[in-house]
Amino acid sequence: MSKLTALFRKALSASTSSNTSNTPKADPLEVTASNESNTPKEQTRWNGWGNININKEVSPHGAKLIKSHIGKTKKLSSVTLESVIKTVPPSRLPSALTDLEIVSTDSEVRVRHARGQSFPDWIAMHSGDFGVFPDGVALPKTTEDVEKLLALAHEHDLVVIPYGGGTSVAGHINPPEDSRPILTIAMSEMNQLIDLDKQSQIATFGAGTQGPAVESQLAKQGYRLGHFPQSWELSTLGGWIASRSSGQQSLGYGRIEQMFAGGTLVTPQGVLEIPDIPASSAGPDLREMMMGTEGRAGIFTEVKMRVQPQPEQEIFKVVFLPNWEAGQTVLRQAVQGNIRLSMLRLSNATETDAHLHLGTTRSQFLAITAYLRSRGLGSEKVMLTYGVTGEKEQNKLALSQFKQLLKKHGGVGGKIADLMGSIWAHGRFKFPYLRGTLWEKGIMVDTFETSTNWSNIDEQMAQMEAAVHNSLTHQGEQVMAFTHISHVYKQGASLYTTYFFRAGKDHASTLGRWKKIKHAASSSVANGKATISHQHGVGRDHAPYLIAEKGELGLKTTASMIESLDPEKRMNPGALLDD
C-alpha cells in the first residue's frame, strides 16, 4: 500500500503543477480574482480544444491499449490557420452592419467563430474545408446592442447565429449554407456579474460569462454556482441555458434547469423578460419553454442564476466495485435513498480498464491492479467516483451512509480513494485535452450520450456499445467503445459512451467512417426508451433523430412556439429542428 500511495501522490503533484501553469485553475475551489474575465480568443486553440498553454499527455501503455483494439494508426494532416484565413470569402454583410464598431469582418475572427468542437468540426479545422464562414461577428456589450443587431438582421434579411463559448459538440453554432448573409453574435463581451441578491441567492450575469469567470466572480463574494460541465473552461451561461446543460455535480447542484431563475431573451419579436419567481402555477413555465431553444427563439443577454454559499467542505473519492451490476445498484440505491452526495460517476469495466491505462504510468497501473486483485477485484471491476459538497455534519452522514452501501456491495477504496479522488478533481477539466493528443496519433475519439430509466439502463448500454462497435465491421474496421454513468436521478441515469476508431487515409474517408458510427450511435438511442441527448443538446447533428423522442406532434408544437418568436426563421436555422 505505501508504494501505491506514493505512486499516486506523485501523480497528483504532477497534475497540479506543470500542466496547469499560466492557465485558468482547473479546480473551481481554487478560482481566484486573477481570472474574472473570459479567456481571450487568441489564447484558445483555433482548431482544437482549450487553452494553447495546456496539453494532456497520453501514457504509452494507454495508447497501446487503444491500438490493440482498433489497429495501427496514422496521423491525419493539418492545415495552418494562415492557409484557412486565405480561403475566407468577402463578407456579404451590408455596410449598416460593417460600419458598427461591435461588428468585425476580420477573416481570422470569422474563422475562429465558424466551428465548434464536434467531430466534423475537427475534420473541417484540420482539412481546411470549412464550407461556410459567418459573414461577420458581432460582439455586443449590452442587451440594447443585441436588440439593435436583431433589428438590423430583420431590416437586411440576415441569418443570425448566437455564439457562447463555441464548445458545441453537436453543430449548434455552425453557419449553414444560406443565400442570406450570416451574422454570428458572440456574447463574450457580456461576461460580468451584474448583481448579487444574497438574501434570495440570485446572481445576475452577462450571458456570455464563461465557467471560470462565473465562479471566480462569485467566489470573491463567498458564493458558487456549481455548474461544472466538462466544457466548463470555455462554455458560457447563455450556452448552458440555451442547450440545457448538465454539470458534473448535478446531483448536488442540479442541472442548469434548476439554476436558471429567469432573465432577458432578445427575440426577433422583441424582448422577452422571464421573471425570476421561485415557483409558480401560472401556466406553462417560460423558463422551461425557452431553455433548450438553442438560439432559435432568441439570444439570452442577462441571466439570473440561483447560487449558493461556497461549501464548507468538498471531498471527492474513487472506489472500485466487483462488477457493473454492483456499481449501478450502489448508484441507484444512493440516489433513491437520498444520500446527500454531490456527484456520482460509474465507469463500466472496459472504461475502468482504459482509464487506469490512460491516467497512469505503467508502474502505477501495475501497482493498482495488483492491489485491487489482492482485494478480489478482477477484470470485471468498475470504478466509481463520488463527491460530497456542503456542510461538514451533513457530509459526514452522507459519507457514512454511502460507505455502508459500498461495503455491502463489495466496494474497495482505502487510502487510494482520497488520492485518486484528488487526482480526478484536479484533472476534471483536462479530459477534453486528451482528444488533441490522440488526434495527433491518428486515434479518433468521439462520444455520445443519453439518459434512460433504471429499468432500461443495462439494455440501453448494451445497445449503444454494440451499435458503435459493429458500425464499421463491413469495412473491416474495429471501433472500441466504453461507457459511464455520470448523472443519476431517482428515475434513472445518464449513459455516456466514448468510442475510438482509426483515421482513414484522408480527412474525407475519416469523416465517412464517423458518419457511419454516428448514425449507428444515434439510432441506438432513438430506437431505445432514451433521449437523443442528456447533456450535449440537439444542434444540427442530432436534429434528424429528435422526432423519435418528441413525436411529430411534439416537434410541431415546439416549432410553433419558436416560430411565434422568429416568424422569419432567421435565428440559427437548422439547429434543434430539422428544417
**Binding to a second copy in span 402-461, by CB under 8 A:** 451-456
Task: Region of 275 please: left (phi>0), alpha (psi -120 to 50) or beta.
Answer: beta
167 is in an annotated binding site: yes
Q: Establish if 532 lies at the interface with a second copy (CB under 8 A).
A: yes
Q: Which of 113, 126, 340, 570 binds a second copy (CB under 8 A)?
A: 340
Task: Provide CB contacts within 8 A for 148, sequence distance 6+.
Answer: none
Alpha-carbon gap, residue 412 to 69, rounded angstroms: 28
> Per the structure block, which three cell numbers stand in for 142?
449590452
Closest C-alpha among 138, 67, 68, 140 to residue 97: 138
Determine if 560 is a binding residue for a second copy (CB under 8 A).
yes
332 contributes a contact to a second copy by CB under 8 A = yes
Q: 489 an active-site residue?
A: no
Nearest residue (CB) to a second copy, 363 versus 400: 400
- Annotated binding residue at 166? yes
Q: Which stretch binds a second copy (CB under 8 A): 73-81, 180-188, 216-224, 331-339?
A: 331-339
| Calpha distance 19→50 (Å, rounded) | 13
Compute the least distance from the CB of residue 569 to a second copy, in Å.
Answer: 14
CA 235 centroid distance within chain: 8
Is 388 a binding residue for a second copy by CB under 8 A? The answer is: no
Q: Which of 32, 338, 473, 527 binds a second copy (CB under 8 A)?
A: 338
By C-alpha distance, which of 517, 495, 481 is closest to 351?
481
DSSP 225: -
Query: Per CB under 8 A, does 401 bind a second copy?
Result: yes
Q: How far is the CB of 564 from a second copy (least distance, A)?
A: 3
Using CB atoms within 10 Å of the CB of residue 182, give its burial: 0 to 12 exposed, 13 to 18 middle, 19+ buried: buried
**432 assigned binding-site residue:** no
CB of 199 to a second copy, least distance (A): 4
Q: Which is nearer to a second copy, 97 or 344 (CB)?
A: 344
Stretch that binds a second copy, among 68-76, 171-179, 477-485, 488-496 (CB under 8 A): 488-496
Q: Which residues of 264-282 are buried (b: 16+ CB within 10 A; e: fewer)?
A: bbbbbeeebebebeeeeee
Q: From the list 325, 512, 556, 579, which residue makes contact with a second copy (rule: CB under 8 A)?
A: 556
Minimum distance from residue 6 beta carbon to a second copy (Å)? 37
Q: SS3 of 579, please?
A: coil
Three cell numbers written together for 257: 434547469
Region of residue 313 (left: phi > 0; alpha: psi -120 to 50; beta: else):
beta
Which residue number, 90 or 283, has a Cβ lying nearer to a second copy? 283
Shortest distance, position 308 Cβ to a second copy, whole Å = 7
Helix axes 362-374, 2-16, angle to 10 degrees: 140
Any known ligand binding at 524? Answer: no
DSSP 458-524: HHHHHHHHHHHHTTTGGGT---EEEEEE--B-SSEEEEEEEEEEE--SSHHHHHHHHHHHHHHHHHH
Asked if 116 interacts with a second copy (CB under 8 A), we say no
Pairing of β 480-485 and β 492-502: antiparallel
- Indicate whether 391 belongs to the interface with a second copy (CB under 8 A): yes
Of residues 458-487, which lie at the interface with a second copy (CB under 8 A)? 487
Please state, in angstroms and as integers, the Cα–Cα distance from residue 361 to each residue in 15, 39, 283, 436, following that order.
13, 32, 57, 20
- Please report whether residue 352 would count as binding a second copy according to CB under 8 A: no
> Euclidean distance between the first and final Cα of the chain, in Å?
59
Catalytic residue from among 253, 433, 496, 499: 496
The reply to whether 272 sits near a second copy by the rule CB under 8 A is yes
164 labelled ligand-binding: yes
Q: Which of residues 182-241 bind a second copy (CB under 8 A)?
A: 197, 199-202
Among 96, 277, 370, 466, binds a second copy (CB under 8 A): 277
124-153 residues in contact with a second copy (CB under 8 A) are: none
CA 162, distance to chain mean position in Å, is 17
Q: 3-state SS of 83-126?
A: HHHHCCCCCCCCHHHHCCCCEECCHHHHHHCCCCCCHHHHHHHH
Closer to a second copy at the Cβ: 441 or 550? 550
- Measuring CA to CA, how many Å separate 31 from each of 217, 306, 357? 9, 19, 30
Distance CA 297, CA 565 (A): 6
Applying the rule CB under 8 A, the residues between 492 and 531 that interact with a second copy are 492-494, 529-531
Does position 90 bind a second copy by CB under 8 A? no
Q: Which is nearer to a second copy, 91 or 522 (CB)?
A: 522
24 vs 298 by CB, closer to a second copy: 298
Residue of 57, 74, 62 lying closest to 502 (CA atoms): 74
Question: Does the footprint of a second copy cover residue 564 (CB under 8 A)?
Answer: yes
Residues 6 or more apart whose CB falls under 8 angstroms from that of 562 comprise 293, 296, 297, 576, 577
Rounded Cα distance between 340 and 509, Å, is: 48
Instruction: Report 280-309 residues binding a second copy (CB under 8 A).
Output: 280-286, 288-294, 306, 308-309
Q: Is 94 one of the annotated binding-site residues? A: no
Binds a second copy (CB under 8 A): choice among 257, 380, 477, 568: 257
179 carries a ligand binding annotation? no
545: Cα separation from own chain's centroid: 20
The least CB distance from residue 427 to a second copy, in Å, is 24
Using CB under 8 A, count the residues that bind a second copy: 92
| For a second copy, the closer CB: 157 or 393 | 393
* Interaction of residue 270 with a second copy, rule CB under 8 A: yes
Closest distance to a second copy from the beta carbon of 28 (Å): 19
Q: Compare residues 107 and 201 and give the one whose CB is closer to a second copy.
A: 201
By CB under 8 A, which span of 42-50, 151-159, 173-181, 560-568 interacts with a second copy?
A: 560-568
Find out whether 163 is annotated in a ligand binding site.
yes
Annotated binding site, which residues?
Answer: 162-168, 435
Annotated binding site for substrate, which residues?
Answer: 435
Q: Please give the positions annotated as active site.
A: 496
Annotated binding site for FAD, which residues?
Answer: 162-168
